[in-house]
Amino acid sequence: MIPFPPPPSLSSPRVTVWHEYRHEHTNPRVAAHYPHGMHVTLAEGLRAHGLSEVRTATLDEPEHGLGGDVLAQTDVLLWWGHKAHAEVSDEVARRVVERVWDGMGLIALHSAHFSKPFTRLMGTGCDLKWREASDKERLWVVAPAHPIAQGVGEYLELEREEMYGEHFDIPAPDELVFVSWFSGGEVFRSGCTFTRGSGKVFYFRPGHETYPTYHHPGVQRVIANAVRWAAPTASAPRAFGNRPPLEPLPGETTPGPQ
């Protein structure tokens, strides 16, 4: 396996790792890989890559852990959900979507393709083919100059993963960073970027709960790169609604705002 050195020191965005945190309580295979919860492993991986301001939130907390000022104080939100998408409050999902429009980054991991925030931001069904049969997955880097692929090499290889196959019912990505090949013969657009309002969205496919995928150093590297890429940057303000003219209109003498 190629080494994955830490990236150069950069300012640390405020990150919230959201996880439904259900499988660990009912499936011993999942608990064996993530004894403290998948969200803890993801948070530890981000901290190991120099991202110091990382908190976690889970489904069964009040307001799913995203109440109060949490979203306002989050620059990038990671989201992992699977069997409890319907239990996510419509109001919380709406707040997440609005924060993305306002500039918060969103990293949707694995089965979060069916999460309420992701499907609402995509505007499509986000369905796909799948098979849980311990396929080998090889994620090919198809955008080697992209910041999310920094330090990854030509590909990442996971010995055992759940298969996702095309057609993936999403809008055409702004950029395609990874394409996966599976040992059963399928391919999948496994690393896709989108812009929604002022916010950046990255969908990253690996991460089925019964495999130790989020312990993989290359996967951790990609997610840390994606957080830095998705963090808000200075941009022109988004302005909407009725506005007076900047110049006098014919028949008017009052100039617009100075």
pTM exceeds 0.75, yes or no: yes
| Cα–Cα distances in angstroms (integers) from residue 253 to residues 244, 248, 250, in the given order | 13, 6, 8
SS3 state at 176:
strand
| Cα–Cα distances in angstroms (integers) from residue 250 to residues 14, 53, 242, 247, in the given order | 50, 54, 19, 10
Taking Cα atoms as reference points, which of 38, 37, 73, 53 lies closest to residue 227? 53
Domains and CATH numbers, the chain: 15-230 (3.40.50.880)
SS3 state at 109:
strand
Q: How far apart are CA 219 and CA 207, in angstroms?
A: 9
Task: Please check whether residue 96 is in contact with residue 106, taking contact to mean a CB–CB distance below 8 angstroms.
Answer: yes
Rg (CA), the chain: 20
Q: How far apart are CA 217 and CA 191, in angstroms?
A: 17
Q: How far apart are CA 55 and CA 156, in angstroms?
A: 27
Q: How far apart are CA 191 and CA 168, in angstroms?
A: 12
Q: Is the torsion defined by CA of 171, 224, 140, 144 positive or negative?
A: positive
Tokens of 70: 């949490």
Q: What are the pLDDT tens digits along the chain (258 aa)? A: 345 555 444 468 999 999 999 999 999 999 999 999 999 999 999 999 999 999 999 999 999 999 999 999 999 999 999 999 999 999 999 999 999 999 999 999 999 999 999 999 999 999 999 999 999 999 999 999 999 999 999 999 999 999 999 999 999 999 999 999 999 999 999 999 999 999 999 999 999 999 999 999 999 999 999 999 999 987 777 888 999 999 999 887 665 555
**Within 13 Å, how many C-alpha atoms sit on residue 172's CB side?**
0
